[in-house]
Amino acid sequence: MKLSPIVIATLLVVTCAARAQTAAPVKPAAPKPPVARIILPPQPPDVAAPKMGPDGKPQTLFMAAHERFVAQAKKGEGQLVFLGDSITAGWAGNGKEVWAKAFGAYQPLNFGIGGDRTQHVLWRIENGELEGIKPKAAVVMIGTNNSGTDPAEGIAKGVTRIIETIRAKQPQAKILLLAVFPRGEKPAPNPGRDKLKKVNEIIAKLEDGKNVFFLDIGDKFMKPDGMLTKDIMPDFLHLSPAGYQIWADAISPKLAELMK
């Protein structure tokens, strides 16, 4: 007896369904073992150290950025170097347009990495970021990420080590050391601001009038009553495009002198 196509198709569906019911169930994949978290001792703010991950190894993104900066330095083209954390790194984001107009003529290099502390910047410049270039000037602003864990004196020691290292590796470069920018909406009570104020009082003494110049532009970001606003610092820490314009305007006259 010849079966119709409809009957044949029906039999195939029934057969496949029966096989599916009798097939062995698929076992779920075994869960991956959790990554072992290594508890590391605190990194002193004045001792060079790479940024570490929970596995006890240098963070991948940190190392990738560092290696990129080392490669840029080896080209030997930068005349002006900015060193810092995410606030400095932001020149490539919110500050991009301002950066090009304000510093483009200086062949600037932006060596800022988000989350960096003094010990991380110190490690970076001890490991290649100042090799191959002969900049006329370096702008340094670092320390805010240390403020949650380190005392003001320790943070200042970290900044001091950075300045000493730049002087040793690039003796021809003039250094524009900026006071650590204010953070937090209100001036008081604000333990973070109070600590950074003390840091700035200490590092201001690093100015020698010949090679190192200190400049505190923090008040330019604030209202007369000391409040920070979201139009300048959206999260009361990082800068908006308007904030980067303030930064550029505040340091450009001094940089023009140092870049001669």
Dihedral of CA 69/71/74/77: which sign?
negative
Identify the active-site residue in 86, 150, 208, 252. 86
Identify the active-site residue in 46, 120, 238, 240. 238
CB distance 106 to 130 below 8 Å: no
User: Counting beta carbons within 10 angstroms of the beta carbon of residue 23, is it exposed (0 to 12), middle (13 to 18) or buried (19 or more)?
Assistant: exposed
Burial 177-214 (b: 16+ CB within 10 A, else e): bbbbbbbbeebeebeebebbbebbeebeebeeeebbbb
Identify the active-site residue in 208, 235, 249, 252. 235
Residue 238 bears catalytic tag: yes
Residue 46 bears catalytic tag: no
Give, for 112, the enclosing helix (H) or strand (E). strand 108-112
Residue 66 bears catalytic tag: no
Q: Which residues are catalytic?
A: 86, 235, 238
